[in-house]
Amino acid sequence: MLENLQNLVREHAGDAIINNPAIPNERNEEAVADASGSIVSGLKTAAANGKIDEVQSLFKNGPEAASTSPVAQNIQAGFAQNLMHKFGLDSGKAGGIAASIIPMVLKKFVHKTNDPNDTSFDLSSVLGGLAGGGGLGNIVNGLGGGKNDGQNDGLLGKIGGMFK
């Protein structure tokens, strides 16, 4: 998943990273990796902090939610922080770069994940990646979900609601 996500970031890095004088050309790939890593890290953090509903909403509500969801905003802020720390950018430049690439990549990522004709990303691999590649069962176990009176009140139950 990370490689496909890095390719997606690279496709849309244009003016935000590749043609940006604030990021040295020899560090473009590092910035691309940081952007994709920020997306994965932000999704994992949200899931680990019990914000499964917000992650679910990001994927359920489609590309339009990619710039307005709390998860997306946290990912954008995290990437901006990375840019300030690793590249020495001021908050304005870092925030501008993050604002120009993260929402666009998230929109494409969510669209590709929801597109049954696009096999570059699928929901189960994304969710498996959020659990460190352990698969859906490990996600449920890792988040304390499970069956209760025949109802799955864990992650799978919440995800099931996405398809109703």
pLDDT digits (tens, 9 = 90+) for 11-48: 999 889 999 999 999 999 999 999 999 998 999 899 88
Mean pLDDT for 105-118 is 86
Query: Is pLDDT of 74 > 80?
Result: yes
Q: Percent of the chain scored above 90 by pLDDT?
A: 42
What mean pLDDT, rounded, does the chain reach? 78
Q: Is the pLDDT of residue 156 over 80?
A: no
Among residues of the chain, what percentage have pLDDT more than 70?
Answer: 73
Binning pLDDT at 50, 70 and 90, where does residue 135 land? very low
Paired with 147 in beta bridges are 152
Alpha-carbon span 148 to 67, nearest angstrom = 35
Question: 156 is written with which tokens?
Answer: 């799978």
In angstroms, the first-to-last Cα distance of the chain is 26
What gap in Å lies between CA 72 and CA 76, rounded to an integer? 6
pLDDT over 90 (residue 127): no
Look at residue 126 and tell me whether its pLDDT is greater than 80: no
Give domain status of residue 145, yes or no: no
- Give the range among 19-23, 102-106, 122-126 with minimum mean pLDDT: 122-126
Could you give the CA distance from residue 77 to residue 87 in angstroms, rounded to a whole number? 15
Give the residue numbers spanning the domain of 107: 2-122
Looking at the domain assignment, is residue 138 inside a domain?
A: no
Tell me, what's the pLDDT at 47?
A: 87
pLDDT value, residue 148: 39
Decide if 6 is inside a domain. Answer: yes
Domain-embedded: residue 32: yes
Evaluate whether residue 40 is within a structural domain: yes
Q: Look at residue 17 and tell me if it is in a domain.
A: yes
In this prediction the pTM is 0.74
Share in percent of the chain as helix, strand, coil (round to 5): 70, 0, 30
Domain count along the chain: 1
Compare 131 and 60 and report the one with higher pLDDT.
60
In a domain, 141, yes or no: no
